[in-house]
């Protein structure tokens, strides 16, 4: 059984269900944070799908575009931006939204510029794309400026998604209420850190852990989303329920 095929396939399956769940909530409630979460999760799904495609079918420049642009560059920022919109309902978040969209368009132009310069002869279907992408793409100082954009988007996603989930968990913990929200946010943060660690390892040359990190992230974040979104019972809303040690 080839893990390069199984892991991204499982990630894709989990993420499809997760994305549909979130977009259904957006359709029902029309809240912006659900929309951005859905967009970001959809990007994550495309990235996982691309990894499966590489393992099953082989090289495709378009699929590489999907993998890198949505999977590596944008998805963390969009998921994190949804968390920002959930936690802060102020006018300045609209400015951040505009900046994010403009930055995404700039990254798109840079990505399209590098596409003709990819070297598909390097591609090996038996190896994860995360291990070989740095050789397939030209170097940063050789035209692949889009690679400089990933730290910006990923740092933003890390702060908003992980920081936001941890902060939410802390707030509910202090209020001694809604224990499911506490656990749910802890799981979401753990999932986001999983993909953050795997992405960082990939960037530093250890790309063999990305697929596993993605699957762990998908499962933990979805579990956290379900747990945090469970209807509140009368017992759980009482402050005494989530009692802390004396």
d(CA 77, CA 195): 13
| 196 binds other proteins, rule: CB under 8 A | yes
Contact 129, 210 (CB under 8 A): no
| 15 binds other proteins, rule: CB under 8 A | no
End-to-end CA distance of the chain: 51
* Segment interacting with other proteins, rule: CB under 8 A, options 40-48, 66-74, 120-128, 184-192: 184-192
Which of 109, 139, 148, 206 is in the footprint of other proteins by CB under 8 A? 148
Contact 40, 100 (CB under 8 A): no
**Residues 201-220 contacting other proteins, CB under 8 A:** 203-204
d(CA 105, CA 118): 20
d(CA 63, CA 76): 19
CB count, 10 Å around CB of 112? Answer: 12
Contact 4, 211 (CB under 8 A): yes
CB count, 10 Å around CB of 144? Answer: 19
* Segment interacting with other proteins, rule: CB under 8 A, options 35-43, 96-104, 187-195, 217-225: 187-195
Which of 58, 151, 229, 239 is in the footprint of other proteins by CB under 8 A? 151
| 71 binds other proteins, rule: CB under 8 A | no
Between residues 60 and 200, which has the closer beta carbon with respect to other proteins? 200
| 179 binds other proteins, rule: CB under 8 A | yes
Look at the alpha carbons of 78, 79, 82, 87 in this order and tell me if their dihedral is positive or negative: negative
Between residues 52 and 168, which has the closer beta carbon with respect to other proteins? 168
| 41 binds other proteins, rule: CB under 8 A | no
| 155 binds other proteins, rule: CB under 8 A | yes
| 189 binds other proteins, rule: CB under 8 A | yes
* Chain residues that interact with other proteins, rule: CB under 8 A: 148, 151-152, 154-155, 158-159, 162-163, 166, 169-170, 173, 176, 179, 182-183, 186, 189-190, 193, 196-197, 200, 203-204, 242-246
């Amino acid at each position: 059984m080839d893990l390069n095929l199984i892991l991204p396939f499982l990630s894709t399956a989990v993420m499809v269900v997760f994305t549909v769940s979130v977009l259904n909530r957006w359709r029902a409630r029309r809240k912006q944070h659900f929309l951005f979460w859905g967009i970001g999760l959809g990007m994550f799904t495309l990235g996982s799908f691309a990894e499966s495609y590489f393992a099953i079918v082989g090289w495709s420049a378009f699929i590489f575009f999907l993998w890198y642009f949505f999977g590596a560059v944008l998805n963390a920022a969009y998921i994190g931006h949804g968390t920002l919109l959930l936690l802060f309902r102020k006018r300045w978040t609209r400015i951040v939204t505009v900046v994010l969209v403009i930055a995404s368009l700039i990254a798109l132009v840079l990505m399209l510029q590098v596409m003709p310069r990819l070297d598909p002869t390097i591609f090996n279907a038996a190896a994860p794309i995360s291990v070989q992408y740095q050789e397939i793409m030209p170097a940063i100082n050789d035209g692949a400026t889009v690679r400089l954009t990933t730290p910006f988007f990923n740092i933003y996603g890390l702060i908003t998604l992980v920081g936001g989930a941890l902060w939410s968990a802390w707030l509910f913990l202090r209020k001694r209420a809604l224990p499911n929200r506490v656990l749910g946010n802890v799981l979401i943060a753990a999932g986001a850190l999983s993909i953050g660690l795997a992405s960082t390892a990939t960037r530093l040359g250890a790309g063999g852990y990305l697929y596993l990190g993605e699957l762990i992230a998908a499962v933990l974040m979805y579990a956290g989303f379900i747990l945090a979104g469970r209807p509140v019972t009368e017992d759980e809303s009482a402050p005494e329920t989530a009692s802390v040690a004396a």
